[in-house]
Amino acid sequence: MNVEDSRQMMGLLKLLGCNQVDDVYQADIVILNTCSIRAKAEHKIYSELGRLKRLKEDKDLIICVAGCVAEQEEKSIIKRFPFVDIVMGPDQVGFLPELVTSCLKDRDTPPKKTYRKTGFQLKDDYQFLHVMPEQKEVSVKAFVNIQKGCDNFCAYCIVPHVRGREASRPSTQIIDEIKSLTQLGVREVTLLGQNVNSYGLKENNDITFAQLLERIASQTELKRLRFATSHPRDVSDALIEQFASNPILAPHFHLPLQSGSDRILKLMNRGYTRKHYLTIVEKLKKQNSHLCFSTDLIVGFPSETNQEFEDTLSVMKDVNFVQTYSFIYSPRPHTSAARMPDDVLLKEKQMRLKRLQDLDSEITLKQNHSDVGTVRYVLVEAVQQENQKPFMGRTEHNKIVHFTSKNVYHPGDFARVTISQANPHSLFGE
Ligand code: SAH
Ligand code: SF4
């Protein structure tokens, strides 16, 4: 989501005549688009700001802190880092050109001001940005925002506090954007939202998520469709059915589990049980036996016992996730879990993470080996003639494949690739 926000910020600045440079030393404006999902991500920003302070002593520079840390720590950023020129929350990206213009206009008239735009826009007034990439920036894949904010308030999560209330983008805007992207050469789109399954449910006048998937398939020229992220509680039967009937929907479902223990799921305020999660997986597999799953997991949530951690490992074995994103629990301000004692020792959390990641590697490697001998439908993303296997792309399951061919492929083409070899992170074939 931050990657897409950054792309939109870049697009907005281009309209002001700015160009992107690769080296921070050449820049006149530096934007840190920040993430505060875990404490580590937040702390990275503070050390980066220290470096930028020294740079600003040598050259005239506009420094903008954007994103979730800006929203969360507005006052303290202004106090601790007075050289920062702009502080802008994630709900206010559309104001970036205005903030930069004011800053440029006033920079020679002291005293120095910090321009700030944080807080949330009213749900009903929320305007989704529509910043199209230029032809030369287009790759074969793109992200499309369909929703902003989150209303779920999972006990550990800062997102609802820094991205505000959930709102869904009108379906006509989404479909128009996908049509324009396909005209520029985009083949695959990932729809983005914190909980895409509840798309449209809170607005009275729009369609459900399953209907949106259906319309994208029938009304656009898109070749492959993905989405992130889903909440297990809101997976409807209509969505499950899409995995059988929708011709462009990739058979890969990223379905965050967070924990395999019912007691921890309850404490996390996730609103489903382990059994419910496994039932959804079963129903989905029945609709489409090629479907694979990836997930997010947290270890060391307050009061998590070793047995409860083992419960998470056992779901991993049951589902055979092709990929897991796993994190050590990190207490975040404003969240309800931050009021619970963070009582699992860091050493224990680290050990659990290592065990989980070792199991993940084992399962992933096994899954990759089971692809050997099968034929995969690969979207070509890059061609490097000098390589032994010059073509690189991704399978329906989003696995990276390097392959050879007598044919010539270009980025954006699809190829049927017979998989001949597998390693933990990629596949090889011809
Ligand atoms: N909306 C998505 C993902 C949000 S953040 C969802 O509901 O799944 C991405 C992941 O970061 C989460 O799925 C969770 O696994 C992790 N995460 C969020 N807050 C965290 C915290 N305080 N400590 C550790 N991991 C966290
Ligand atoms: Fe955070 Fe839960 Fe919302 Fe995901 S669904 S963004 S984990 S509060």
Domain boundaries, the chain: 2-117, 125-369, 375-429
**What's the whole-number mean pLDDT along residues 404-429?**
96
Looking at ligand 2, which atom is closest to the CA of residue 163?
Answer: 6
- CB of 230 closer than 8 Å to CB of 196: yes
The larger pLDDT score, comparing residue 135 to residue 148, is at: 148
- CB of 261 closer than 8 Å to CB of 304: yes
Query: Is domain 125-369 annotated with CATH 3.80.30.20?
Result: yes
d(CA 7, CA 131): 8
Q: Give the Å distance between the CA of 230 and the centre of ligand 1.
A: 12
Ligand 2 lining (C-beta closer than 6 Å): 150, 152-154, 157, 159-160, 194-195, 231
pLDDT at 41 over 90: no
pLDDT digits 0-9 by tens, 3-28: 889 999 999 999 999 999 999 999 99
| Both structure tokens of 79 | 């106090």
Report the predicted TM-score, pTM, of the whole model to 2 decimal places: 0.94
375-429: what CATH class?
Answer: mainly beta
Least confident of 32-41, 235-244, 291-300, 320-329: 32-41
- CB of 248 closer than 8 Å to CB of 213: no
**106 — pLDDT class (breaks 50, 70, 90):** confident
Looking at ligand 2, which atom is closest to the CA of residue 153?
Answer: 8
Ligand 1 lining (C-beta closer than 6 Å): 37-38, 156-157, 159, 194-195, 229, 231, 256, 258, 296, 298, 327, 329-330, 332
Q: Give the Å distance between the CA of 152 and the centre of ligand 2.
A: 6
**1 — pLDDT class (breaks 50, 70, 90):** confident
**What single-letter DSSP state applies at residue 92?**
G
Q: How many residues does the chain have?
A: 430
Cis amide linkage into residue 111, ω under 30° from 0: yes
Looking at ligand 2, which atom is closest to the CA of residue 296?
Answer: 7
pLDDT at 389: 86
pLDDT at 205: 66
**204 — pLDDT class (breaks 50, 70, 90):** low
The residue among 149, 136, 218, 230 whose CA lies nearest residue 190 is 230
Phi, psi of 370 (to 5 degrees): -70, -15
Residue type, 134: E
Tokens 């003639």 correspond to what residue? 385
Q: Give the Å distance between the CA of 28 and the centre of ligand 2.
A: 35
pLDDT at 110 over 80: no
Q: Give the Å distance between the CA of 313 and the centre of ligand 2.
A: 22
Q: Determine which residue's CA is closest to atom 4 belonging to ligand 2.
A: 194
Q: Which residue out of 37, 38, 68, 150 has the highest number of ligand 2 atoms within 8 Å of its CB and is therefore the one to mutate?
A: 150
pLDDT at 125 over 80: no
Percent of the chain with pLDDT over 90: 86
d(CA 64, CA 19): 16
- CB of 162 closer than 8 Å to CB of 72: yes
Q: Give the Å distance between the CA of 307 and the centre of ligand 1.
A: 22
**407 — pLDDT class (breaks 50, 70, 90):** very high
pLDDT at 302 over 80: yes
Q: Give the Å distance between the CA of 381 and the centre of ligand 2.
A: 31
Mean pLDDT of the chain: 94
For residue 145, list its beta bridge partners.
Answer: 192
Q: Determine which residue's CA is closest to atom 1 belonging to ligand 2.
A: 157
pLDDT at 359: 98
pLDDT digits 0-9 by tens, 168-199: 999 999 999 999 999 999 999 999 999 999 99
d(CA 268, CA 232): 13
pLDDT at 133: 86
Q: Give the Å distance between the CA of 153 and the centre of ligand 2.
A: 6
**What's the whole-number mean pLDDT along residues 52-61?**
91
pLDDT at 132 over 70: yes
**What's the whole-number mean pLDDT along residues 43-69?**
92
pLDDT at 364: 96
**What's the whole-number mean pLDDT along residues 349-360?**
98
Is the torsion defined by CA of 209, 215, 217, 219 positive or negative? negative
Q: Give the Å distance between the CA of 94 and the centre of ligand 2.
A: 23
Q: Determine which residue's CA is closest to atom 5 belonging to ligand 1.
A: 37
d(CA 257, CA 274): 8
pLDDT at 108 over 80: no
Q: Determine which residue's CA is closest to atom 5 belonging to ligand 2.
A: 152
**What's the whole-number mean pLDDT along residues 40-44?**
87
2-117: what CATH class?
Answer: alpha beta
**What's the whole-number mean pLDDT along residues 206-220?**
95
